[in-house]
Structure 1
Amino acid sequence: MVQQSTQEKIPGLQFPENGRFLVRMRLDPLSAFQDLARTYGDVAHMKFGKQDAYLLSHPDNIRDVLVVHQQQMRKPGALRQPLGGNGLLRSEGEFHKQQRRLIQPAFHRQRIASYAQTMVEYTQRLSGRWQDGMQVDMAQEMMGLTLAIIAQTMFGARVEDDTAAVREALTPLLQMGGASRLDPLNALLEYLPLPSKKRRIEARVRLDAIVYRIISERRASGEDQGDLLSMLLLARDEEGNGSGMDDAQLHDEVMTLFVAGHETTANALSWTWYLLSQHPEVEEKLQRELDTVLAGRLPGVEDVPRLTYTEMVLTEAMRLYPPAWIIGRRTVDEYRVRQYTIPANSLLIMSQYVVHHDPHWYPDPFRFDPERWTPEARVNRPKYAYFPFGGGPRLCIGEAFAWMEGELALATLAQRWRARLLPGHHVQTEPLITLRPKGGLPMVLHRR
């Protein structure tokens, strides 16, 4: 008797449907993965060339991969963040644990709270540059804001002279597609001397030079400026051999934190502005809370627990438009999911976008409704029905930083401004490494 293969047992795509899926993934990966989950259920098989891959869409299975059985997993190269060398988002095993121990003190609650003033100060500067009736690209405005904030909190001394150069260098690097890198055709194109590849290499060289220069200057000064870079320079692995980080590792961690520390928050804020512009009743309720809690003054870290509706608005925006919209793991050995056995060296894909739009957990899932995030509503959903920052030992180390930055920036700006989408502009998603608004968000500002 011939035993059926694992691929035949697990529902999913066969030839030629798999080829059509790859074409759809190039054009619209969000809907492609969503339809795959709807058609085949919570465990769905596909192939990327010779690579077996499985889309997991049930919160319990995602929890098992990220938390319960995380030691049986590795990060897949195709879905890794491409800028951080061997930083936290790419490193594995004992080395990853050591690096996380070294970096964790920089993100303790008290340390993060000390950055609140910087976050509000830079946001207020942006507000001061805005004018009534002014047209802006809100995506660029939020990107510039979060880049300035992470530069200040990371490097201490103001680095405005470097900010434009950093932004210019980051753009071609961050335009590398997320799930499209799984496509065998795109993977093949990476080996060809295309102009886009040349631009990425040149951008990486420029960015590396800036970061290494800043690290060198700080090491030479020996000064503790109370910023993230100072914390990383002073960090010692007391649980291990007591060593610190060399320049190469410091560079990798700085790059990881620098990119993750502005790109994701900027996208979350951009989508929040867009959703508020389309739902004036939510905007009005948000502004009532800001008027009541802040009474016209700037927010501070002590206000964050009181801005409950502000948090709900941001949470719902990241449900609808999760900045990190797809993550992956590779199985080390055979792995059991429900009644299925997944072979070793298989790719497991989990999409925040797919799960966050699952009607099992979110009725009318494309509707913007911050009331989904009342304490009563949260109780009725499994934890991993919402995982914008991942989970388990690899949970984004800067999650608390991002939440505070997002809430303080939104509170600072929304109590003084409304923004409306430019008439005639059609908003589209651009799912690259993060979920961006394609072509930006042209909006007109209105002073309250």
Structure 2
Amino acid sequence: MLDFAIFAVTFVIILVGAVLYLYPSSRRASGIPGLYPTDEKDGNLQDIVNKGGLHDFLVDLHQEFGSVASFWFGRRPVVSLGSVKQLQQHINPNHTTDSFETMLKSLLGYPPGMGGGPNESVVRKKLYEGAINISLKNNFPVMLKLAEELVGKWKSFPEAQHIPLCAHLLGLSLKTVTQLGLGERFRDDAQIIAFRKSHDAIWSEIGKGYMDGSLEKSSSRKAHYEKALSEMESMLLSVVKERRAQKKQMLFVDALLQSSLTERQVMEDCMVFTLAGCVITANLCIWALHFVSTSKEVQDKLCQELEDVLGTDPVSLDKIPQLRYCQQVLNETVRTAKLTPIAARLQEVEGKVDQHVIPKETLVIYALGVVLQDADTWSAPYRFDPDRFEEESARKSFCLLGFSGNQTCPELRFAYTVATVLLSTLMRQLKLHQLEDQVAEVRSELVSTPKDETWITVKNRKSRT
């Protein structure tokens, strides 16, 4: 089972650090083409920095050396896989844990699993996924209400007003994740503001400082990060205790409290879900509306599907699987924006890809951003074209990469539901228009985000133009 997740350079570095600590003896991915280290101590780290990030570095690496390539982090070799075929070969030996959860917990200083080995980690992962599903099922009306409130706000704007997608959709994401995950206390704007303050401080420092050690070199930044993390943990522990006393069974946190997890472990999982869920959900919605705003044809097809499937009724959880074109739009959004450009996994047993042997305990990178825009896999790979997912070959490749089906990471599955509700509510009331001369450049980090604020205008769908 291939449980893909979202990684930035910092995540890869932390995982490599764990390898260096746990496995001090030398490991070599011998015979795999790739770069020699440019620095004896840092390997190719400066090359990654010079390229502007790991994704851009991997694009050039695979262009030069092919779909299986190697480079160096410190004195350790790293293997990167850059095609669907090679990724498929690597699936089977690497299925026991969710790599994103493991990496994020490592960055936060949380132990993976339940403290009892790989089997306990799998059990905890299933609890986590089940808790998200329970929250979606029990709180769908809340999600619909939040989407309707946002669309109502946009309808009240003058047609010429520019709407900042990043700001508005991060707000929608924060409200949705906290209310479905943690409860009614986050209906209070003051609680949302406090949550966002800590959330942003933690997330920004997770994405900084670990590559060049700048966080450790700045006592003020480190103190700010640690204060934000402590405040967030205190807030979440307070929620956990509050929900345990109420003995309700409606939310993400409630479902975890029905298990054998300690309050501390429940808090940790709430931290992972809220941190990751907010960012993934916001950016999927941002990119989806950005791309949809560029195409009247896509908007018309979405409206027709909504009319055929829903009529005049609001979207419901059981109707979402019938919105196949909407699913294609979101799939193509993930692909075109390279929403999750990097994944990584530690080789658990010695493996083999093509003729190349990958030794045990080697860090293997899945260059998803490279594969998602590979011309051998996708025709016109840089064009936003939801119709490509009418083809079985495209759907199969997407599934093999872990972006659909049972292999989808739970945070992305949650984001798809929120984005579907938003599109279903929005498309039947408003037409979206991209601003002239606006280019939304991708910043491929932990999650691919626009480098700058992205703007649209809207018009009432009953308007003639």
TM-score norm. by structure 1 comes to 0.84
Q: Could you tell me which amino acid in structure 1 is paired with residue 35 of structure 2?
A: L
Q: Tell whether the 8 Å contact from 1:53 to 1:346 is kept in structure 2 after alignment.
A: yes
Deviation at residue 430 of structure 1 after TM alignment: 2.0
The one of 362, 367, 371 equivalent to 2:383 is 367
1:96 aligns with 2:118: no
Matched with 1:248 is 264
- Correspondence 1:25-44 to 2 at 5 A: 25=51, 27-44=52-69
The aligned counterpart of 2:70 is 45
- Select the residue among 194, 197, 212 that pairs with 1:168: 197
**1:12 paired residue among 29, 34, 43:** 34
Change (3 A) 1:255 1:23: closer
In 2, Cα distance between equivalents of 1:323 and 1:92: 31
Alignment of 1:259-408 (within 5 A): 259-378=275-394, 381=397, 383-384=399-400, 386-388=401-403, 396-408=409-421
Q: Which amino acid aligns with 1:112?
A: L
Amino acid at match of 2:181: M
Q: Which residue of 1 aligns with 2:142?
A: 118
- CA deviation after TM superposition for structure 1 residue 399, in Å: 4.7
Q: Does 1:444 align with 2:460?
A: no
2:317 & 2:98 partners in 1: Cα distance?
A: 37
Work out which of the residue numbers 163, 168, 180 in structure 2 matches 1:141. 168
Paired AA for residue 12 in structure 1 = G
In the TM superposition, residue 333 of structure 1 has moved relative to its aligned partner by 4.7
Q: Give the Cα separation in 2 of the matches to 1:91 and 1:163.
A: 35
Change (3 A) 1:311 1:263: same
Q: Is the 8 A contact 1:53 1:348 kept in 2?
A: yes
- C-alpha separation in 2, matches of 1:105 and 1:382: 23
Deviation at residue 139 of structure 1 after TM alignment: 1.5
Change (3 A) 1:325 1:88: farther
The range that moved more, 197-206 or 345-354, is 197-206
CA distance, structure 1, for counterparts of residue 389 and residue 341 of structure 2: 20
Uncovered stretches (5+) of structure 1, i.e. residues with no partner: 236-243
Are 2:62 and 1:22 aligned? no
1:60–1:382: 8 Å Cα contact kept in structure 2? no
How many Å apart are 1:132 and its aligned residue? 3.6
* Cα deviation, residue 270, structure 1: 0.5
Change (3 A) 1:343 1:376: closer
Deviations 1:163-195 (CA, angstroms, capped at 9, x unpaired): 1111121113222466x8784xx2x32321254
Task: Give the C-alpha shift of residue 379 in structure 1.
Answer: 6.2
Determine the structure 1 residue equivalent to 2:425: 412
- Which structure 2 residues correspond to residues 150-189 of structure 1 after superposition, within 5 A? 150-161=177-188, 162-176=191-205, 183=211, 186=212, 188-189=213-214
Alignment match, 2:257:
233
Q: Does the aligned pair in 1 maintain the 2:164–2:453 contact within 8 Å? A: yes
**CA pair 227-144 structure 1, distance change in 2 beyond 3 A:** same
Which among 234, 237, 247 is matched to residue 209 of structure 1? 234
Between Structure 1 and Structure 2, how many residues are aligned? 425
Counterpart of 1:289 in structure 2: which amino acid?
E
Give the partner amino acid of 2:36: Q
Aligned residue in 1 for 2:3 = none
Tell me by how many angstroms 1:436 deviates.
1.2
* AA of the residue aligned to 1:260: A
Relative distance call for 1:401 and 1:20 in structure 2 (3 A) is: closer
Cα shift at 1:309: 1.1
- Which consecutive residues of structure 2, in runs of 5 or more, have no partner in the other structure? 1-26
Map 1:36-75 to 2 at 5 A: 36-65=61-90, 67-70=91-94
Q: TM-score, normalised by structure 2?
A: 0.81
Give the distance between the partners of 1:115 and 1:341, measured in 2 at CA.
Answer: 48
Identity %: 22
Give the C-alpha shift of residue 138 in structure 1: 0.5
Note the alpha carbon deviations across 1:46-88, whole angstroms, 9 max, x for none: 11222311111232432344x4101699959995464583467
* Contact 1:312–1:373 (Cα < 8 Å) also in 2: yes
Is the contact made by 2:101 and 2:272 (CA closer than 8 Å) also made in structure 1?
no
Distance 1:215 1:246 in 2: 10
Q: Which residue of 1 aligns with 2:444?
A: 431
Q: Residue 282 of structure 2: SS of its match in structure 1?
A: helix
Residue 243 (structure 2) aligned to one of 199, 207, 218: 218
Root mean square deviation, CA, Å: 3.2
Larger CA deviation: 340-349 vs 34-43: 340-349
Residue 24 to residue 416, structure 1, CA distance change in 2 (3 Å): farther
After TM superposition, give the deviation of residue 204 of structure 1 in Å.
1.1
SS in 1 for 2:319: helix
Distance in structure 2 (CA, Å) of the matches to 1:73 and 1:127: 38
CA displacement, residues 113-153 of structure 1 (integer Å, 9 cap, x when unaligned): 33322211110011122224332221221111122112121
For 2:257 and 2:103, locate their aligned partners in 1 and report how far apart those are by CA, in whole Å.
Answer: 29
1:78·1:181 contact (CA, 8 Å) conserved in 2? Answer: no
Deviation of 1:245 after TM superposition, in Å, equals 1.2
Q: In the superposition, relative to structure 1, how do residues 19 and 253 fare at CA in structure 2: closer, same or farther (>3 Å)?
A: closer
